[in-house]
Structure 1
Amino acid sequence: MTETPAHTALWPAPHASGAVTATVHVPGSKSVTNRALVLAALAAEPGWLRRPLRSRDTLLMAGALRAMGVGIEETVSSSSAVAGGGNGTGEAWRVIPSGLHGPATVDVGNAGTVMRFLPPVAALADGPIHFDGDPRSYERPLHGVIDALRVLGARIDDTRGSAGALPLTVHGCGALEGGRVEIDASSSSQFVSALLLSGPGFNQGVEVRHVGGALPSMPHIRMTVDMLRSVGAQVDTPEAGGEPNVWRVAPGALLGRDLTVEPDLSNAQPFLAAALITGGTVTIPDWPAHTTQPGDALREIFTEMGGSCELTEQGLVFTGSGSVHGIDVDLSEVGELTPGIAAVAALADSPSTLRGVAHLRLHETDRLAALTKEINELGGDVTETADGLHIRPRRLHGGIFHTYDDHRMATAGAIIGLAVDGVQIENVATTAKTLPDFPELWTGMLGN
């Protein structure tokens, strides 16, 4: 018998029969893992990455760095697995920097961090590095990185497809002059992070000046800056009294370090949402008291929507009240949380307006259009605005929830399925992009 391809298979979203009570160990942060891999690859000495996320995006990053000559050794320690408290595994990656070199081919998949963070690394390699990826990756904005690298002295061939997009080849010559560059990063904060991460390896370092509209996802830039400083880089930022929208990284050697990756707080969202909409309690172990992860905003947002939370020795304990309220919220700094918030809002007792996320039209899919279409096809009433969504709750019914190869669309559909019987998620396997084993974690939470 021929198996149904994963991208067309339908997954019956589990329906909650009562309040959810569970402890869910969320795997490590994709954003931290991929930044840490880049910094370790550019360091002057080996480093360790403990409890990294193993997902499609992070394995693509590791594979790309290996293709450029970086050594990444994977180990699993039974003792560290116990000490780790269950945040994935006791796995550790030892990253051994070496002379970056080509020729090499990098598969970026549809990972924004890979397609944007690695061309600057490739500019420091000796030889050509070719970048290609999934069809959707050709449509995602990359011009900010490409144009900036050319200004900084890199030679890039992007003539095989649309200019300023994949596929492309970076012709590295072992060094890059660096210096000052102006970019418009209003479509992705990753443009800024990409240049800052490799900046210490440029001869003059780098000065990045954002000259466009509002910058989305500022917490991710702060994450990049904090991680750079943790490995010895000198970084000047607007928050530290510098010029607005200007970041400077001085040239210098980076330290190898021993880093334990935090749980991915954005990937905790569907599990917290389960407590909120069922009036239950979900505990997420190892939730950090201080973090730059955007997902930490869930504590405030979901509390406003009807829950309560407490940070304890066991982790973050989140409890739903049995009622879900609408919200009017600017999500410009935490746009990746929009699909899950929209799913909860569709089940609320009053309307919601989600603002500041026009840039989501350029993510894994056009998330605003996709959320509107899929929720409305289940009986909802969602309209797009210039920069977000307006959601009027309606009684929803079962049906197919399409994901468009977008992991956060899949988890949004699963959230709705908890409260609406008969929801089927098309291609739930796409969650492996950042949250491996999501179906098992989800059914385990429900005790199924």
Structure 2
Amino acid sequence: MAPTRAPSSRYAAPTAGGPVRGTVSVPGSKSVTNRALLLSGLAEGRSVVRGVPATRDSALMCGALRSLGIAVRTEGETVTIDGGTLTGGRTVDCGLAGTVMRFVPPAATLAEGAVVFDGDPHARERPMGTVLDALRALGAVIDGDRLPFVVHGGGGLPGGAVTIDASASSQFVSGLLLSGARFDEGVTVHHDGKPVPSLPHIDMTVAMLREAGVAVDDPGSSGEPDTWRVGPGPITARDWVVEPDLSNASVFLAAAAVTGGEVTVVGWPAGSTQPGAEILGVLERMGATVTASGAGTTVAGPDRLQGVDVDLHEASELTPTVAALAAVAEGPSVIRGVAHIRGHETDRLAALRTELTALGAAVTETEDGLEIRPARLAAGERPWGAYADHRMATAGAILGLVVPGVVIDDVGCTDKTIPDFPGRWASLVS
């Protein structure tokens, strides 16, 4: 599983000749995967992670662990990791993976020697100061505030309490918590600022730490608002099974919603900490019908989608998908609570405004989201810009189902989380 990605590739998005109908399985959750991989590297002993998707983000995390001296073996979707002592002296390639650039530096403080972090050009623009300053406050020595930067590992970290502003990304909290048990004093993270986005991702981190035998207090258990505490101690080696990525699944369900078809995603978990599960409620509000059965979760699209006013603060990764649907709905839509996605793979709000406007929609970028007023859409001469962002590329594919002639300038970036997206999409649409 080498951390490579497809070269820039133009893609003529297929247009549906009628309602899209089909059954799909989607790769495992990259959020669950990369947490499980890192915890396995920090554990003492052998762990096995099953259901690992063959995506760039997963490959980058495996590569990061190898750079820290951890033995990682991949066979298909199964990754075996012999965790324990970390070593420095090498470079970690973060690519464009937020989970690598925010989760691995705290672990690198435990290595002996310097660890260099770098990544794609777009990654060098993403905010990193919050987690790096927090590590400095906990005793780490770090050169730089954005990629590329150097963590001078000392074989351990004192740890303790730190106050941060995590309003730009929940990954800042998760990154500190995941390695906190290996710090001498554990770690207590207090957030002081605007509300933390995507809190379900922190809930996911807490749940997985507890599954690995780590003592964790969160606001729900301690009664302390915006405070998470991880006690020092060992991380238990174990087997992990990765559930399907529900944010990726939302793209395929959107195909049913936008064409009045019916799509079933197999393996949809009965309960999940993934924020992507919120897509079901959004689709229902837009007029779709959602049914759960032993075969999976099925979405049947309406004759016409309805506009929606929705706060996606807890599930901001759904914004490109929901924005694409809103652009062809009947009536205006408002997406709120997602100001922080300006700092994702690209400035997603500006990118969505630019690309939807180019197709003919009337889009206003607000302080914390988008206002979208549908209009008759038509593809122009310029391609739909992906901005090296997998979710921008899939949003273009959704629109291509009902807008003939949409061409995505770089579908290769979808390999970040969905292997062979063009093949999967064509199989569903044809």
TM range (shorter): over 0.9
CA contact (8 A) 2:216 2:228 kept: yes
Deviations 1:58-104 (A, max 9, x none): 1011001011111111224xxxxxxxxxxxxxx21111113100101
Q: How far does residue 446 in structure 1 lie from its aligned partner after superposition? A: 1.4
In the alignment, the residues of structure 2 paired with residue 208 and residue 418 of structure 1 have an alpha-carbon distance, to the nearest angstrom, of 45
Q: Does the C-alpha gap of structure 1 residues 21 and 443 become closer, same or farther in structure 2, counting only changes over 3 Å?
A: same
What's the counterpart of residue 401 of structure 1?
Answer: 384
In the alignment, the residues of structure 1 paired with residue 82 and residue 332 of structure 2 have an alpha-carbon distance, to the nearest angstrom, of 52
In the alignment, the residues of structure 2 paired with residue 303 and residue 276 of structure 1 have an alpha-carbon distance, to the nearest angstrom, of 10
CA contact (8 A) 2:43 2:84 kept: no
What's the counterpart of residue 95 of structure 1?
Answer: 81
Gaps of at least 5 residues in structure 1 are 77-90, 159-163
In the alignment, the residues of structure 2 paired with residue 294 and residue 262 of structure 1 have an alpha-carbon distance, to the nearest angstrom, of 13
Is residue 141 from structure 1 mapped to residue 127 from structure 2 by the alignment?
Answer: yes
In the alignment, the residues of structure 1 paired with residue 164 and residue 179 of structure 2 have an alpha-carbon distance, to the nearest angstrom, of 16
What's the counterpart of residue 165 of structure 1?
Answer: 146
Is residue 287 from structure 1 mapped to residue 273 from structure 2 by the alignment?
Answer: no
What's the counterpart of residue 67 of structure 1?
Answer: 67
Q: How far does residue 257 in structure 1 lie from its aligned partner after superposition? A: 1.2
1:204-353 equivalences in 2 (<5 Å): 204-353=185-334
What's the counterpart of residue 114 of structure 1?
Answer: 100
Letter in 2 for 1:410: A
In the alignment, the residues of structure 2 paired with residue 138 and residue 270 of structure 1 have an alpha-carbon distance, to the nearest angstrom, of 28
SS at match of 2:181: helix
Letter in 2 for 1:384: E
What's the counterpart of residue 366 of structure 2?
Answer: 385
Is residue 127 from structure 1 mapped to residue 110 from structure 2 by the alignment?
Answer: no
1:436 counterpart (415, 419, 422): 419
CA contact (8 A) 2:334 2:372 kept: yes
In the alignment, the residues of structure 1 paired with residue 387 and residue 314 of structure 2 have an alpha-carbon distance, to the nearest angstrom, of 23
In the alignment, the residues of structure 1 paired with residue 167 and residue 284 of structure 2 have an alpha-carbon distance, to the nearest angstrom, of 29
What's the counterpart of residue 154 of structure 1?
Answer: 140
In the alignment, the residues of structure 2 paired with residue 299 and residue 373 of structure 1 have an alpha-carbon distance, to the nearest angstrom, of 27
SS at match of 1:251: coil
What's the counterpart of residue 12 of structure 2?
Answer: 12
In the alignment, the residues of structure 2 paired with residue 425 and residue 408 of structure 1 have an alpha-carbon distance, to the nearest angstrom, of 12
In the alignment, the residues of structure 2 paired with residue 67 and residue 378 of structure 1 have an alpha-carbon distance, to the nearest angstrom, of 44
In the alignment, the residues of structure 1 paired with residue 110 and residue 333 of structure 2 have an alpha-carbon distance, to the nearest angstrom, of 47
How much is the aligned-residue C-alpha RMSD, in angstroms? 1.1
CA contact (8 A) 2:45 2:84 kept: no
Q: Does the C-alpha gap of structure 1 residues 364 and 250 become closer, same or farther in structure 2, counting only changes over 3 Å?
A: same
Q: How far does residue 10 in structure 1 lie from its aligned partner after superposition? A: 2.2
Letter in 2 for 1:401: W
Letter in 1 for 2:409: E
Letter in 2 for 1:333: E
Deviations 1:176-229 (A, max 9, x none): 100000001011110000000000000000000001111101010000000000
What's the counterpart of residue 34 of structure 1?
Answer: 34
CA contact (8 A) 1:71 1:98 kept: no
Letter in 2 for 1:426: D
CA contact (8 A) 2:307 2:330 kept: yes
Aligned residues: 424
SS at match of 2:53: coil
CA contact (8 A) 1:279 1:319 kept: yes
In the alignment, the residues of structure 2 paired with residue 311 and residue 206 of structure 1 have an alpha-carbon distance, to the nearest angstrom, of 40
Q: How far does residue 344 in structure 1 lie from its aligned partner after superposition? A: 0.3
Q: TM-score, normalised by structure 1?
A: 0.93
Q: Which moved more, 1:368-377 or 1:131-140?
A: 131-140
Is residue 189 from structure 1 mapped to residue 170 from structure 2 by the alignment?
Answer: yes
Q: How far does residue 258 in structure 1 lie from its aligned partner after superposition? A: 1.0
Deviations 1:360-390 (A, max 9, x none): 1111001000000001111111110010000
Deviations 1:270-324 (A, max 9, x none): 1101101111111101100010001100111111111111111111111112220
In the alignment, the residues of structure 1 paired with residue 401 and residue 171 of structure 2 have an alpha-carbon distance, to the nearest angstrom, of 33
Letter in 2 for 1:409: M
Q: How far does residue 44 in structure 1 lie from its aligned partner after superposition? A: 1.5
Q: How far does residue 436 in structure 1 lie from its aligned partner after superposition? A: 1.2
Tell me which stretches of 4 or more aligned residues in structure 1 moved more than 3 Å.
5-9
SS at match of 1:225: helix
Q: TM-score, normalised by structure 2?
A: 0.97
Letter in 2 for 1:252: G
Letter in 2 for 1:94: T
SS at match of 2:16: coil
CA contact (8 A) 1:69 1:98 kept: no
Q: How far does residue 409 in structure 1 lie from its aligned partner after superposition? A: 0.4
Gaps of at least 5 residues in structure 2 are none
SS at match of 2:234: coil
CA contact (8 A) 1:142 1:165 kept: yes
In the alignment, the residues of structure 2 paired with residue 193 and residue 225 of structure 1 have an alpha-carbon distance, to the nearest angstrom, of 8
Letter in 1 for 2:304: S
Letter in 1 for 2:408: I
In the alignment, the residues of structure 1 paired with residue 142 and residue 8 of structure 2 have an alpha-carbon distance, to the nearest angstrom, of 37
- Identity score, percent: 54
CA contact (8 A) 1:354 1:390 kept: yes
In the alignment, the residues of structure 2 paired with residue 288 and residue 33 of structure 1 have an alpha-carbon distance, to the nearest angstrom, of 15
In the alignment, the residues of structure 1 paired with residue 115 and residue 170 of structure 2 have an alpha-carbon distance, to the nearest angstrom, of 24
In the alignment, the residues of structure 2 paired with residue 277 and residue 126 of structure 1 have an alpha-carbon distance, to the nearest angstrom, of 53
In the alignment, the residues of structure 1 paired with residue 10 and residue 143 of structure 2 have an alpha-carbon distance, to the nearest angstrom, of 41
Q: How far does residue 7 in structure 1 lie from its aligned partner after superposition? A: 5.6
Letter in 2 for 1:320: G
In the alignment, the residues of structure 1 paired with residue 167 and residue 10 of structure 2 have an alpha-carbon distance, to the nearest angstrom, of 36
Deviations 1:388-444 (A, max 9, x none): 000000000013201110000000000000011111111011101111110000000
Q: How far does residue 242 in structure 1 lie from its aligned partner after superposition? A: 2.4
CA contact (8 A) 2:8 2:413 kept: no
Letter in 1 for 2:336: R
Q: How far does residue 241 in structure 1 lie from its aligned partner after superposition? A: 3.8
